[in-house]
Amino acid sequence: MIIIDYNIMYIQVRENVQMRPRKIEDAPQIFEIIDKNRDNLREWLLWVDSMTTVEIVESVVKEHIEKAGHGTNVYMGIFHDNLYIGNIEVKNINRFSDSAQIGYWLAPEWQGKGIMTDCVRALTDYCFDELNLNSVHISCADKNKKSRAVPERLNFVQEGVLQDCMKYHGVFYDEVIYGVVKRNWIKYKYN
């Protein structure tokens, strides 16, 4: 079982960028960044339209804290000098196959700076080093070029495409699945 102490766990990504579990008191910041970027984020994040109040965000954060306690998910905020700028998670942790998925999003004004690539790299290290997983996957809609660029930059392998498997605002998209196994990640990381 994965136990996360929400008071002390964090991953330093850069000098001023850190990932840490979100807390209830982060809800106003989380809501503000979602609300400010709602039109942009909703293209690929269907849950954005349901985040209409700080109280709803608080309840989602509470739910994520509880789920993290079950050991199947790790939800983290991405912070730049303590300012919430996005989210990253390890989800669907499967102890039978020692595998999981990584999901992420970043506020538009922080995109294009390599932050998400660095965060996914650090979280992949965490998956292999701390969670002792053997494989990590990332799924993206085929037309979501920015999201797809992250695993591609990190040498994840495109393992497959599921046709019309994702539906956003009434339109179907293919789901592109990227993956990396621990032995290849270590090879890539140290060469």
Question: What is the DSSP code string of 116-127?
Answer: HHHHHHHHHHHH
**Closest alpha carbon to 180 in 135, 130, 140:** 135
**Closest alpha carbon to 159 in 189, 185, 131, 180:** 180
Work out the widest C-alpha separation in the chain, in whole angstroms: 47
**Closest alpha carbon to 179 in 100, 94, 98:** 100
pLDDT average, residue stretch 157-161: 97
Give every strand in the sheet of 135-141, ordered side by side.
11-14, 17-20, 74-80, 83-94, 99-106, 135-141, 171-181, 157-168
pLDDT above 90 coverage of the chain, percent:
87
Arithmetic mean of pLDDT over the chain: 92
The secondary structure of residue 49, as a DSSP letter, is G
pLDDT in tens, 74-121: 999 999 999 999 999 999 999 999 999 999 999 999 999 999 999 999
pLDDT in tens, 43-78: 999 999 999 999 999 999 999 988 888 888 999 999
Contact (CB, 8 A) for 65 and 74: no
pLDDT above 70 coverage of the chain, percent:
95
List of domains in the chain? 11-190 (3.40.630.30)
- Whole-model pTM: value is 0.92
Please report the pLDDT score of residue 72 as a whole number: 87
d(CA 86, CA 42): 14
